[in-house]
Amino acid sequence: MILILTPNLNTDCEEYRHLMGALSNLQNIQARVHREQGMEKSVTEIYLIGNTASLQIEDMKALPCVEHVVRVSEEYRVLGRHKADNRATFFDYNGVRFGQDTLNVFAGLCAVDTPEHVELMMRALKENNQVCTRMGAYKPRTSPYSFQGHGKKCLPFVFDLAGKYGIKVIAMEVTHESHVVEIHEALDATGNPTGVMLQIGTRNTQNFELLKIVGRQQEFPVLLKRGFGITLDESLNAAEYLASEGNRNVVFGLRGMKTSIGEPHRNFVDFAHVSVVKKLTRMPVCVDPSHSVGARSTGPDRILDIMHVTAQGIIAGANMVLVDFHPVPSQALVDGAQALIPKELPYFLEDVQIAREAYEKRVALSERHNSKVMGDR
Ligand code: PEP
Ligand code: MN
Buried b (16+ CB within 10 A) or exposed e, 51-61: ebeebeeeebe
**Residue 158 alpha carbon to ligand 2 centre in Å:** 18
Q: What is the 3-state secondary structure (H, E, C) of 310-352?
A: HHHHHHCCCCEEEEEECCCHHHCCCCHHHCECHHHHHHHHHHH
Ligand 1 atom, smallest distance to 256 CA = 9
| In contact, 313 and 277? CB cutoff 8 Å | no
Q: Distance between CA 18 and CA 221 in Å, rounded? A: 33
* CB of 215 closer than 6 angstroms to any ligand 1 atom: no
* CB of 175 closer than 6 angstroms to any ligand 1 atom: no
Q: How big is the chain by its Cα radius of gyration, in Å?
A: 22
**Residue 172 alpha carbon to ligand 1 centre in Å:** 10
* CB of 168 closer than 6 angstroms to any ligand 1 atom: no
What distance separates the 2 farthest-apart alpha carbons in the chain? 69
Ligand 1 atom, smallest distance to 200 CA = 8
Helix (H, G, I), strand (E, B) or coil at 151: helix
First to last CA, the chain: 35
pTM of the model: 0.95
Segment holding 77, helix H or strand E: none
Residue in 119, 124, 128, 103 with CA at minimum distance from that of residue 162: 119
Ligand 1 atom, smallest distance to 139 CA = 5
* CB of 266 closer than 6 angstroms to any ligand 1 atom: no
Residue in 77, 61, 9, 17 with CA at minimum distance from that of residue 243: 77
**How do strand 66-70 and strand 2-5 relate by DSSP bridges?**
antiparallel
pLDDT in tens, the chain (377 residues): 999 999 999 999 999 999 999 999 999 999 999 988 888 889 999 999 888 989 999 999 999 999 999 998 778 999 999 999 999 999 999 999 999 999 999 999 999 999 999 999 999 999 999 999 999 999 999 999 999 999 999 999 999 999 999 999 999 999 999 999 999 999 999 999 999 999 999 999 999 999 999 999 999 999 999 999 999 999 999 999 999 999 999 999 999 999 999 999 999 999 999 999 999 999 999 999 999 999 999 999 999 999 999 999 999 999 999 999 999 999 999 999 999 999 999 999 999 999 999 999 999 999 999 998 888 87
Nearest CA to ligand 1 atom 3: 110
70 burial (CB, 10 Å; 0-12 / 13-18 / 19+) is: buried
Segment holding 191, helix H or strand E: none
Q: Distance between CA 15 and CA 110 in Å, rounded? A: 51
Segment holding 196, helix H or strand E: strand 195-200
**How do strand 250-254 and strand 222-225 relate by DSSP bridges?**
parallel
DSSP letter string, 122-141 = HHHHHHTT--EEEB-SS---
pLDDT for residue 246: 93
Ligand 1 atom, smallest distance to 322 CA = 2
Which of 199, 222, 287 maximizes ligand 1 atoms within 8 Å of its Cβ, making it the mutation to test the pocket?
199
Which of 109, 202, 268, 293 maximizes ligand 1 atoms within 8 Å of its Cβ, making it the mutation to test the pocket?
202
pLDDT for residue 39: 80
| In contact, 170 and 134? CB cutoff 8 Å | yes
Helix (H, G, I), strand (E, B) or coil at 265: coil
| In contact, 54 and 20? CB cutoff 8 Å | no
